[in-house]
Structure formats: C-alpha cells, structure tokens
C-alpha cells in the first residue's frame, strides 16, 4: 500500500533520497502501523527512541489523514497521509 508522508523539522533527514519539501510516498505491506512506518524510515534509530516513545516520551505529534493523536499502533490504510511534527510550545 502507498502512504504519503510529510515530515517536519529534523525528521526530513529520514525521508528517501530525492524527496522534496519534506514529503514522500512510501510503500508498506497491508496492515502496517505508524510504528512500522517509523521503523521503515529509520526514525526510531535517528531519534534514539522506540516508535512508541517517539510519540509518548519525545512528544512528536502524528496525524493520520488529518486526525491528530495517532499512536504507534494505529493501522495505516492505502492512500493515508501521515504527518509528523515536533510538539509545539509557546508562551510569554
């Protein structure tokens, strides 16, 4: 199945060669999860966290087809778009 991926910040380094503007399409087997996508792209190794910890401990935000709050166990479907971005913070 084909998954559209849009990575922000330092995670753009994990995209396949030739990717443009932080975006790429990757092919994964049916039933793959967000965690499987992270392993496929090497995000877990790059950040030094398990896929679950990338979200829960490191605070990266994941959206699957416009729905934020995805976990590493979320099953992906052909045509999904996955966005990963650092946790936004702010204040005075």
The domain ranges of the chain are: 2-85
pLDDT for 91 equals: 53
Report pLDDT digits (tens) over 20-77: 999 999 999 999 999 999 999 999 999 999 999 999 988 899 999 999 999 999 999 9
May I ask the CATH architecture of the domain 2-85? Answer: Roll (3.10)
Separation of alpha carbons 88 and 92, rounded Å:
14
Task: Tally DSSP H helices, then E strands, for the chain.
Answer: 3, 5
Return the beta strands (E) in the chain as ranges. Answer: 2-7, 23-27, 61-64, 67-68, 81-85
DSSP-derived secondary structure letter, 52: H
């Amino acid at each position: 199945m084909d998954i559209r991926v849009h990575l922000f910040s330092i995670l753009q380094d994990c995209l396949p060669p030739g990717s443009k503007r932080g975006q790429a399409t990757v092919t994964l087997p049916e039933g793959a999860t967000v965690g499987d996508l992270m392993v496929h792209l090497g995000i877990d190794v790059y950040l030094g966290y398990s896929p679950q910890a990338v979200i829960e401990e490191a605070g990266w935000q994941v959206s699957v087809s416009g729905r934020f709050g995805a976990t590493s166990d979320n099953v992906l479907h052909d045509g999904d778009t996955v966005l990963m971005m650092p946790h936004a913070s702010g204040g005075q």
